[in-house]
Structure 1
Amino acid sequence: MKAIVAVNRKWSIGKDGKLLYSLPGDMRFFRETTRNKTVIMGRKTLDSFPEGKPLKNRVNIVISRGNDDRDVIWVRTPADAVKASSDYADTFLIGGSCIYEQLIDFCDEAYVTMIEDNFEGDSFFPNLDERENWELSEKSDAFCENGLTYRFCKYKNNHPKEL
């Protein structure tokens, strides 16, 4: 399992239930990386998509105590999500912050778009620079869009947990 996220220098990902940034290059990277893959998310992340619809061309697994008729696989716990995803190749955690925190140490890699900004958000991704077993393994050249500089980074977990 892998994680994919866009963060700023404070490892913040959102504020008031919305993403902090909308960068076309990052969105393109997300689409290309997760297309035809499995994604795991919380219900609030699903609700944040246009019309609350699941992502197209992906298997969508949603962790929630409730469910409805949206075309997703509903599970109750993060452990259930990992078990459900084992039937599929290439699974990505896509948020929100609670899901990242609960499952990040089960991931073997994290694709992190690092945005050079210090905006104060209210939801965060775990700081992999300070987390045991994680190391930065790749870093792209800088890109600039919408007045922001960012890089695509890949982190590796040297000892991912297993269920």
Structure 2
Amino acid sequence: MQEWIIIASADKNWGIGFNNRLLARIPEDMKYVSGKTTGKVIVMGRKTLESFPEGKPLPNRTNVVLTTNTGYTVEGAVVVHSIGQLMDELKDYRGEVYVFGGESIYRQLLPFCKRAYITRFNKEYQADSFLPCLDDIEGWELVKKGEWQKSIKGIEYRFDEYYRSM
């Protein structure tokens, strides 16, 4: 059985990025995300992949890129061009599928997700891409609200978990 899960970092306004970059990169979040996603499938958009160091897929994961650019290819990742093609590609996979962003991918795949791991930053950043506010979507519930911690970079953050009951 597959379980679709959103994984993201967001500021107080659910901002997730600016100019195709994360709003904040803290080592604690990178370790958290790595711990959740290593050995699993991650699904992202082309721009999200291109924002990674050297634009390369993350190691020790099955990287799937969903893009409308039919000429797009990248070594080390599976490229699909529609939700239907994505579902067909993963039809035999049993396990967790992490939705990795960006904004368009989160919006398209949110209906398939039952869980969300959100690293929240206790700050408002300038953002031009956003995650839908799960607090305002019927059926989504904050089931684990983390304690505020201070990153070694001085940024306040916490790890929250949401579940969708519907």
**TM class, shorter-length:** over 0.9
Matched, 1:154 2:153: no
The secondary structure found in structure 1 opposite 2:135 is coil
Listed as ranges, the matches of 1:2-151 within 5 Å are 2-64=5-67, 65-66=69-70, 67-88=72-93, 89-145=95-151, 146-151=153-158
- The number of aligned residues is 159
Gaps of 5+ in 1: none
* Amino acid in the other structure paired with 1:154: E
The secondary structure found in structure 1 opposite 2:147 is coil
What is the alpha-carbon distance in structure 2 between the residues aligned to residue 72 and residue 129 of structure 1? 33
What is the alpha-carbon distance in structure 1 between the residues aligned to residue 51 and residue 140 of structure 2? 29
- Structure 1 residue 69 displacement after superposition: 4.2
Gaps of 5+ in 2: none
Distance 1:120 1:108, change over 3 A: same
Where do 4+ consecutive residues of structure 1 move more than 4 Å? none
What is the alpha-carbon distance in structure 1 between the residues aligned to residue 28 and residue 57 of structure 2? 21
TM-score by length of 1: 0.93
- 1:10–1:120 Cα contact (<8 Å) kept: no
Distance 1:83 1:107, change over 3 A: farther
* Amino acid in the other structure paired with 1:79: G
Identical-residue share of aligned pairs (%): 37
